[in-house]
Amino acid sequence: MRAWIRTLGRWLHRAVLLNCWALLCLYLVFKLSERSHFIDVLPAAIEPAGVVLISGQSGFREGCGVAVFRLSGATHSALKDSGLAALGEANQARGHADDYHHYEAWQGTPVLAGEISEGWPPLSCAAADEDLERRILLAMQKAFSGRFRLCRLISGPGRPGMKSLSRLALVAAVMIGGQAQAQDCREQLPQILASAYGTEQPVALERVVCKVWPARAGLTLVAVPLPRVEQDGYGETDLELLVVGSASGEVSARKLLPGELNWDAVYVSGITFDTAPYWVSERRLAFGVRVSREGSSRANPFSEQSLNLYVLDGDAIRPVLSDLVMAESVGEWDTNCAGTWREMSRTLALAERPGRNGYHDLVLREKRTFNRDEARGDDCETVEGYNQKQRYRLTYDGERYAVPKELLRLR
């Protein structure tokens, strides 16, 4: 009887080991096929020297994935010598001949501005360490001083066993030599303002914000604050958006936003253009305007950043998203240590497929943190803290994206 039990135990032990080896082999085969799949999505002109990261998430209806490649020495040298011209024929995935895997023209960075703290939307679904994510984001945002980075998204079919996984491969950012793609728009501001307002300049040049639109280098975006009333405790200021020719400085479209920059105890601390590739529909590329605001109370600090998106309709600028809060920080403390702090940040991405009206939904990912600090002896310590995550989906209603009231900026 004991001999039979020992024999059965040995067979069970061998069966477990065999299953473990089988699972390990299946996993290795899967990882090799996954790596091969991503490389097949790259054009032949881009030769990877290795994979830095492959990661992703999936759900019942959708998912996302990211791959980061290290470029080979030959590819790096070609980019350094020829710039984007080295990718002139890199318009088709090496392993696919269909239209789905066809590339549009490659462009230099910046791809996305103002998202270092929370991360670029495609990276938010990857298990990338903070150092790698920050290096990628910093490289993607810089395109000045005679240098620019190269970065590109590659879409492809889903991973086996995952539902509707968008295959997003991020080509490793590399620094290559070359000339800046566009003249600094600030040099043209006097000419632009003269074209828009005549000889009388409506505001000091240092208060005007401009940026060459990377996706449409022939156009420059300009934001002009127009003060109407300025008192000690409050002010009334309109904002006018201009789209001008980068070469001519002539205004081709404009939009006046009355009271957009009004302020009181909460004042406007900054305006930036967000020129991420917001292709809200097949033919509509939106640009963003981010407005940062801060409170004046030291005991109750407050700051927020809101985002508006606009598209060009002929010679008109049309808003499609308004007053969406993208970041917020609120505190209440004794100005020494003890107090509570609440922070919120959101990232925005486009849904993979367009809706019934031809516009892509906006996928909003939110992260909230709460901390409570207390003085303990000579130290100030966090005694309580937690994080919350939430996801929203904004749908285009025929005129603009409908935003729930709790996500809007308070006016």
- Using CA atoms, how far apart are residues 325 and 149, in angstroms rounded to an integer? 29
- Domain layout of the chain by residue ranges: 30-177, 182-264, 276-411
Joined together, the tokens standing for residue 257 give 């936003």
What per-residue confidence (pLDDT) applies to 16? Answer: 75
Q: What is the pLDDT of residues 298-312, one digit of tens each?
A: 999 999 999 999 999
DSSP for 104-159, written as a single string: ----BSP---S-TTT--GGGGGS---HHHHHHHHHHHH---TTEEEE--EE--PPP
- Using CA atoms, how far apart are residues 240 and 56, in angstroms rounded to an integer? 41
Q: What is the pLDDT of residues 328-357, one digit of tens each?
A: 999 999 999 999 999 999 999 999 889 888
- Using CA atoms, how far apart are residues 155 and 139, in angstroms rounded to an integer? 21
What per-residue confidence (pLDDT) applies to 123? Answer: 60
Of 128, 124, 176, nearest in space to 151 by CA: 176
Average pLDDT, the chain: 79
Q: What is the pLDDT of residues 46-82, one digit of tens each?
A: 888 888 888 776 554 455 677 888 888 888 777 777 7
The torsion of the CA quartet 176, 177, 182, 184, rounded to 10 degrees, works out to: 110
Joined together, the tokens standing for residue 316 give 């008109």
Helix residue ranges per DSSP H, 269-369: none
- Using CA atoms, how far apart are residues 258 and 278, in angstroms rounded to an integer? 25
Of 297, 349, 344, 342, nearest in space to 325 by CA: 344
- Residue 182: which pLDDT band, with cuts at 50, 70 and 90? very low
